[in-house]
Structure 1
């Protein structure tokens, strides 16, 4: 998935997540020179422009490029490679891209749900391990191995907290992307209404009602500068 802990489709830049037994290169502008198998040539020609807009490289293996934080979630990368190979669609070629997105969305949702459960269990076990060591420290000294275990527990807890904060940050970005326009129009409406209420619509100059903004501004400046 812009860097974030939750996966998003790569639009601006494309990272190479292809397995070692595949070779991924940037597709040339001329689609006629793109190395595409004859079995998917018709489909590739119809979906090439759509794929480019969403960061999709149509190669021999039709790799779906998804950007994640490399090194932090290696199990997610393995999941994407595996599910990309398992994806099978027999419908119309023009619908393949969107069906693939829906398929990956379901897979990623399930992975996130299971991964959160594992992280909760891991966090509980780390806290229990730390509590046991802390209780022992109150009674007697601890060994070097126990000190190392304590440090590793703290390190793992910090990593879990970092993942949580990144997930919350990404969720706030998604929420603002979906609701930001409504909020923006609401706040602009308040500001504009205040401007209308505070605006001087007209003044009386020498028994004449003036509504021309330029004349109103000039007369106010003259009145303010007068001794």
Structure 2
């Protein structure tokens, strides 16, 4: 019996060690060995997805993207996707539901973009603070608004991913805890609802990892 509703998101184990963070690496162990036999069905599907993502990120980065720069965001997409999927399995820790995990992904990326942009394209970064067509009297306010919106970007990236992962898992947990007090008919209805919610969470896992990678790509394209 859970003492707290949020205990499912507790990274510590019975030994008071944060061993649940090892769940972030479990995706690597789940890749079947037949994946490495070329050409296998796994590799064909994998390469197809890689090519689709590469084309998508290449368009977003624009004509000034460097060779291989899209693979940073492709790797980020798959890393978040693996961790989101792992959290859908029972009794497996969801690492992407913690801000310590999502912020450690978003903050270094955003900080590196800002350092690169301000050191190499200072004039370009300054022009981004004042949108085109802004009246002169509103320029100081626009600079403040754009600066604040730029600073909170890593926070919004991290909170969006963590909140979406927590919300679905909490709903599944709340509904699951009511099963012991329900009748046979209501339990069948509950099982159907849980399956539908699990399907929704499956879609949310893909969407949120894609959104995180896409927004990171858009932020990087603004500093070039």
Higher relative contact order (CA 8 A, sep 6+): 2
The TM-score with structure 2 as length reference comes to 0.29
The TM-score with structure 1 as length reference comes to 0.29
Report which of the two has the higher share of helix.
2
